[in-house]
Structure 1
């Protein structure tokens, strides 16, 4: 397997995930060659990320009063092809918590226990009116740490 800059030890990294969502690969997510289109994993990342953020209470924020999460960057590494009707378990974890942002890691494992995807991205919490970054509250950080 190729070296991935954001993963130091693959075995340790894989074992550090605890949150996941199931993804069923739909026909509409494949291309003319029959495998998953290269943009689809970003949709899977979003689905898993939103469920993760909901699970730690970061969407319990009426009208974005304390900030909203905005994707600042997103990266995907493809390791094994995926096809229509494959079952993927998409794992999410927070790798680093900053003052106004969190670095999120992703891992996609198929029904045959093959690593198909890895990824990472930074979410920045911003004030929806000004677009300026806002600090994560201590409570938000606590919720993230205890996943």
Structure 2
């Protein structure tokens, strides 16, 4: 497997995940070659990210001071093909917390615990009326550090 730019030590990185959601690959998520279409992991990332934020109490919470999270960037690296009806565990963790944003990392493992996907993205909190970034509250930072 080639080096992934946002992962310094793969074993250490893998060991830091605890939260995951199960995903069963649907036929509609595959392409004419029978493997998962290259856009489908971004849908899996979204689903896992929302469930993760719900699990720590930050999805639609009072901690956001009227701001809303948006995806500022999103990246996926494909390591092993995934096929229709396979089970995938999509893991999520917070990697870095900034002033107005935090980075989220993703890891997809198949039923044999083989690495299929890795990903990362940045979530930025903005004021809906201005579209401008706003600082994360101290309570949000504390929750994210413990997640």
User: Which 4+ stretches in 1 moved above 3 angstroms?
Assistant: none
Distance, in Å, in 2 between the alignment partners of 1:108 and 1:115 is: 6
For 1:71, what is the secondary structure of its paired residue?
strand
For 1:141, what is the secondary structure of its paired residue?
helix
TM-score by length of 2: 0.96
Question: Unpaired runs of 5+ in structure 1?
Answer: none
Distance, in Å, in 2 between the alignment partners of 1:58 and 1:132 is: 20
Question: Unpaired runs of 5+ in structure 2?
Answer: none
Distance, in Å, in 2 between the alignment partners of 1:132 and 1:33 is: 42
Alignment pair present for 1:143 and 2:135: no
For residues 85-139 of structure 1, the C-alpha deviation after alignment (integer angstroms, 9 at most, x for no partner) is 0000000001000000001100000011110000000010001111000111111
Equivalent residues in 2 for 1:1-147, closer than 5 Å? 1-61=1-61, 65-147=65-147
For residues 55-111 of structure 1, the C-alpha deviation after alignment (integer angstroms, 9 at most, x for no partner) is 12212336x753111000000000000000000000000100000000110000001
- Would the aligned equivalents of 1:57 and 1:140 in 2 still touch at CA under 8 Å? no
TM-score by length of 1: 0.96
- Would the aligned equivalents of 2:106 and 2:119 in 1 still touch at CA under 8 Å? yes
When the two structures are aligned, how many residues end up with a matched partner? 146
